[in-house]
Chain A
């Protein structure tokens, strides 16, 4: 062996695994954060419903709170259930 690796500094970028680019409620990109937050990351996470739709957590919680009767997904009108996979 002429050459061996002693140490290695790798670089990786992370992204949310979402089925859309933008949040269906605030229309902000998932790479960013919801309008109430300043920085994306663990402080402004995404959540998935069982209907497979995905939103900023802050956005969907706000939406669910504003609903009087049924808790529905704003995209498909199915009953909203968090998908805790």
Chain B
């Protein structure tokens, strides 16, 4: 209806405007520019009309809300604003008065209602009526009395309720149940009562700050009586503790009951005072005992799992029924009793085993649990460090295990890295400690680990080692570099590595030049260019030799000399780079000597001012040998070929003859003969047979030699490295070190001019990167004094002066 009304108005307005031929927008314009009064009038009228219409609609709306049925009629009436009626309000003739017994009567009504609620009886008055009654009393200044009366009523009821618990001595569980029921009922009743007395809450209580609201009054009364009757209070708390303990022992208990009662304590604000303290004490006692007991009974992994379970349980407990504020203290208590007090014990008893067996899950758990404990990670880290040192020492220290040492170290490092990465959260403290521990134990045995690492690398880089692809080899080298980093005596490594590298390069045994180069660049990165300059020089020599050989071949074909068809290649070494080789003069066959001469002449013509020295120990040949069953190619060392060539003119030769004819050093010759006559491929027969070569032995060319291969490599029998060669290498390293010590002493003394013995020694230890004994240092100082680099102070023999 009122919408229709609106439309009517608008249409009328439009008609008016259209008659002036103006759109609403241009209308305003028009009035602005020309200021015609008439237009303005229409506008005003318009506004009036719209005001009216909104008035109508308002009224219409209101009537629509109250009663839908009659709005049509009402609107019709309202549509006639012309007939105005005047309403005059006059004072009442007599003031209205309350009935005399209003107070008693109303209260009586309310009291009855409250009692009915408290006793769960049906209420005979409607709630609205009661509400009105309260409202009336509030209006007529009776709020104070009303509040007091209500207070007395609730007081009585609560007291009766609580007192019933005093008398009865029932089962604890029942007691709690009953208590809970009482509390729930109390809450329910108080809500009901508050709703009825809402008016009182909203007016009287709100205006008097010191008076508690009805709900709070109820709580306060409840609290008073519980507090007053300590027996009840303690019974509640004890009952709760009993339930919780039961649950801790694995029984299922009524969690809702617990939650409800604990909420009650919180609401009554006695949770902390009455319950929390005792609860924490009980918790502490329980877990202290449990911690002691289980540490004895269980293995560490089981114990840890148990602790973890306990912590989860306690967290759940907080989540389900305890007050959230208890959580930090509760968890702390559990941690303290189960973990903090047992940290050392756990580490001592279990850590080694866990690491040994690589139990990643348990270790992760251990790490996360120890994270809760103050200093837990530090302790764990220390124990971890100790374990690595102990375990590593067993790998390194035992000479029997030398063969597998490097592989074991690599595996051990891998395992430990894995543990740090997966279990210890990649904690930097742990990885640093890991490094420190490795560095510590690897250097417990001087020189040997460095030597073995060098040999391990050699074995991997040598040709014929097909077990790894390029990438695998690369990764392996990286891992070895990690071990290498820990080693203090890097010069020992260099010496052995150089020796092996020389062998690989000269015999052409190197598996791949790329791998060699990559190893070299790794070493360079690690120790700087000084460390690798000699090694690089070796590679350079090999490359230069290649060029020289090409040129030499050209030279041979140009000069076209009468020579037998020996394909000769020569590796030219720069003395300083390569290991020192013992000089040997052996007798070569004529044709070989000729070749050597030609080559020397050729070389010196290219490089003047040089001298060439031939190294027979390093040469090797491929021989073509004719046996009864066909031709074979023998890959042999130069010494082996010299011996074999002798048999061209004789069938049988004695040891002495061979020795005289070749001039090979005795021990070397014995090994050579052994390799030819007693090895796997026996091209010579020894008479009499036997493993070792004796002075009176005779040798005979084995015409019946059989082998399924065409090309046969006859290995040299290696000198026992453990004895001479190794000693020599170490000796060389020691020599090098002496120069370094000398240099360091002079450097320091030059700077300080005067220094006491002890200070000098300590400075030396800071500068020198390899392990030295103080006695060695003393020797070097003595030697420098002898050579007048420094002198003892005349007054104080413990002081040294630098001599410029």
A12 engages B633 (CB within 8 Å): no
A10 engages B614 (CB within 8 Å): yes
B613 within 8 A of A: yes
Q: What separation, in Å, do the CA atoms of A39 and B544 have in the docked complex? A: 14
Q: What separation, in Å, do the CA atoms of A69 and B566 have in the docked complex? A: 58
- List of A residues within 8 angstroms of B647 by Cβ: 2-3
Count CB-based A-B contacts (< 8 Å). Answer: 144
- List of B residues within 8 angstroms of A76 by Cβ: none
A16 within 8 A of B: yes
Kindly specify which of B9-17, B102-110, B567-575 makes contact with the partner chain. Answer: B567-575
B571 engages A8 (CB within 8 Å): no
Q: Which residues of B from 625 to 653 have beta carbons under 8 Å from A?
A: 625-626, 633-634, 638, 641, 644-645, 647-648
Instruction: For residue A15, give the distance in angstroms from its CB to the closest CB of chain B.
Output: 5
A7 engages B648 (CB within 8 Å): no
Q: What separation, in Å, do the CA atoms of A48 and B622 have in the docked complex? A: 42
Residue ID in chain B nearest A9 by CB atoms: B569
- List of B residues within 8 angstroms of A16 by Cβ: 609-611
Binary contact track B564-599/A, C-beta < 8 Å → 1, others 0: 101111111111101001000000000110011001
User: Are A13 and B612 CB-contacts (below 8 A) given A5-B641, A8-B621, A38-B533?
Assistant: yes
- List of A residues within 8 angstroms of B288 by Cβ: none
- List of B residues within 8 angstroms of A8 by Cβ: 566-569, 592, 595, 619-622, 638, 641
B802 within 8 A of A: no
A35 within 8 A of B: no
Instruction: For residue B113, give the distance in angstroms from its CB to the closest CB of chain A.
Output: 109
Q: What separation, in Å, do the CA atoms of A41 and B612 have in the docked complex? A: 14
Q: What separation, in Å, do the CA atoms of A27 and B566 have in the docked complex? A: 43
Instruction: For residue A60, give the distance in angstroms from its CB to the closest CB of chain B.
Output: 14
Q: What separation, in Å, do the CA atoms of A77 and B610 have in the docked complex? A: 26
B506 within 8 A of A: yes
Q: What separation, in Å, do the CA atoms of A8 and B533 have in the docked complex? A: 29
B609 engages A17 (CB within 8 Å): yes
Q: What separation, in Å, do the CA atoms of A10 and B610 have in the docked complex? A: 18
Q: What separation, in Å, do the CA atoms of A14 and B609 have in the docked complex? A: 10
- List of A residues within 8 angstroms of B611 by Cβ: 14-17
Q: What separation, in Å, do the CA atoms of A36 and B540 have in the docked complex? A: 19
B571 engages A10 (CB within 8 Å): yes
- List of B residues within 8 angstroms of A10 by Cβ: 568-571, 595-596, 599, 614, 619, 638
B625 engages A2 (CB within 8 Å): yes
A11 engages B626 (CB within 8 Å): no
Q: What separation, in Å, do the CA atoms of A5 and B599 have in the docked complex? A: 17
The main secondary structure of chain A at its interface with chain B is: strand
Instruction: For residue B539, give the distance in angstroms from its CB to the closest CB of chain A.
Output: 11
- List of A residues within 8 angstroms of B625 by Cβ: 2-3
B748 within 8 A of A: no
- List of A residues within 8 angstroms of B610 by Cβ: 14-17
B614 engages A11 (CB within 8 Å): yes
A4 engages B623 (CB within 8 Å): yes
User: Are A2 and B626 CB-contacts (below 8 A) given A13-B578, A32-B576, A39-B533?
Assistant: yes
A6 engages B624 (CB within 8 Å): yes
A1 within 8 A of B: yes
- List of B residues within 8 angstroms of A4 by Cβ: 564, 623-624
Q: What separation, in Å, do the CA atoms of A5 and B565 have in the docked complex? A: 8
Residue ID in chain B nearest A32 by CB atoms: B576
Residue ID in chain A nearest B544 by CB atoms: A41
- List of B residues within 8 angstroms of A2 by Cβ: 625-626, 647-648, 701
Instruction: For residue B588, give the distance in angstroms from its CB to the closest CB of chain A.
Output: 10
- List of B residues within 8 angstroms of A3 by Cβ: 623-626, 634, 641, 644-645, 647-648
Binary contact track A18-60/B, C-beta < 8 Å → 1, others 0: 0000000000010110000011111001101000000000000
Q: What separation, in Å, do the CA atoms of A38 and B533 have in the docked complex? A: 8
B620 engages A9 (CB within 8 Å): yes
Residue ID in chain A nearest B703 by CB atoms: A2
Q: What separation, in Å, do the CA atoms of A45 and B247 have in the docked complex? A: 92
- List of B residues within 8 angstroms of A15 by Cβ: 575, 610-611, 613
- List of B residues within 8 angstroms of A32 by Cβ: 576
B376 within 8 A of A: no
- List of A residues within 8 angstroms of B638 by Cβ: 8, 10
B273 within 8 A of A: no
B615 within 8 A of A: yes
A11 engages B592 (CB within 8 Å): no
Query: Which of A5, A9, A31, A46 is in CB contact (< 8 Å) with B575?
Result: A31
Instruction: For residue A34, give the distance in angstroms from its CB to the closest CB of chain B.
Output: 13
B728 within 8 A of A: no
User: Are A45 and B609 CB-contacts (below 8 A) given A31-B576, A38-B533?
Assistant: yes
Instruction: For residue B106, give the distance in angstroms from its CB to the closest CB of chain A.
Output: 114
Q: Which of B540, B624, B648 has the most CB of A within 10 A?
A: B624
Q: What separation, in Å, do the CA atoms of A16 and B608 have in the docked complex? A: 9
Residue ID in chain B nearest A46 by CB atoms: B609
- List of A residues within 8 angstroms of B648 by Cβ: 1-3
A7 engages B572 (CB within 8 Å): no
User: Are A13 and B615 CB-contacts (below 8 A) given A3-B647, A6-B633, A8-B592?
Assistant: yes
- List of B residues within 8 angstroms of A17 by Cβ: 609-611
Q: What separation, in Å, do the CA atoms of A46 and B608 have in the docked complex? A: 10
B619 engages A11 (CB within 8 Å): yes
User: Are A12 and B572 CB-contacts (below 8 A) given A5-B621, A17-B609, A42-B607?
Assistant: yes
Instruction: For residue B609, give the distance in angstroms from its CB to the closest CB of chain A.
Output: 6
Q: List 23 A-B contacts (CB under 8 A).
A: A2-B626, A4-B623, A5-B592, A5-B622, A5-B623, A6-B566, A7-B567, A8-B619, A9-B569, A11-B570, A11-B573, A12-B600, A12-B614, A13-B573, A14-B574, A14-B603, A14-B613, A16-B611, A17-B610, A17-B611, A40-B537, A41-B544, A45-B609
Given contacts A5-B621, A8-B566, 5 further A-B contacts (CB under 8 A): A3-B625, A4-B624, A8-B569, A13-B613, A39-B533
Top 3 nearest A-B pairs by Cβ distance?
A7-B567, A11-B618, A11-B615
- Show the binding face of A for B, using Cβ within 8 Å: 1-17, 29, 31-32, 38-42, 45-46, 48, 85
